[in-house]
Amino acid sequence: MTQITVKVDGMMCGMCESHVNDAIRNAFAVKKVTSSHRKGETVILTESDIDDAAILDVINRTGYTALSVSREPYKKKGLFGFLKENGNG
């Protein structure tokens, strides 16, 4: 699974976050999407390969400005994720 973090400018409240989240969910097959207007970012968890340009386009069409996209392998948080990561699980 991949974690995609998109820096987004223009989100001011919880409704802005919902608007971006809904746009991502409607455009792509994602496991989870969360946005934070305080951090100015949207985090997407997905098993499918999503093109960066497509993500930027979907967010920009909502009226907000997508600034950058970064990717990293998703690491499960919590005790059990930590144990598996260290070979104890």
Q: 4-49 pLDDT, tens per residue?
A: 999 999 999 999 999 999 999 999 999 999 999 999 999 999 999 9
Which comes out higher in pLDDT, residue 6 or 76?
6
CATH of the domain at 74: 3.30.70.100
Q: Which structure tokens are listed for 2? A: 């991949």
Res 76: pLDDT: 77
Task: Give the C-alpha distances (Å, rounded to integers) separating 71 from 6, 19, 51.
Answer: 9, 22, 11
In terms of DSSP H, where are the helices of 1-89?
14-27, 52-61, 79-85
Q: Output phi, psi for 23, to 5 deg.
A: -65, -40
The whole domain housing 64 covers 2-85
pLDDT in tens, 47-61: 999 999 999 999 999
Res 79: pLDDT: 62
Which comes out higher in pLDDT, residue 58 or 84?
58
* CA separation for the pair 33, 49 (Å, rounded): 15
Q: What's the domain count of the chain?
A: 1
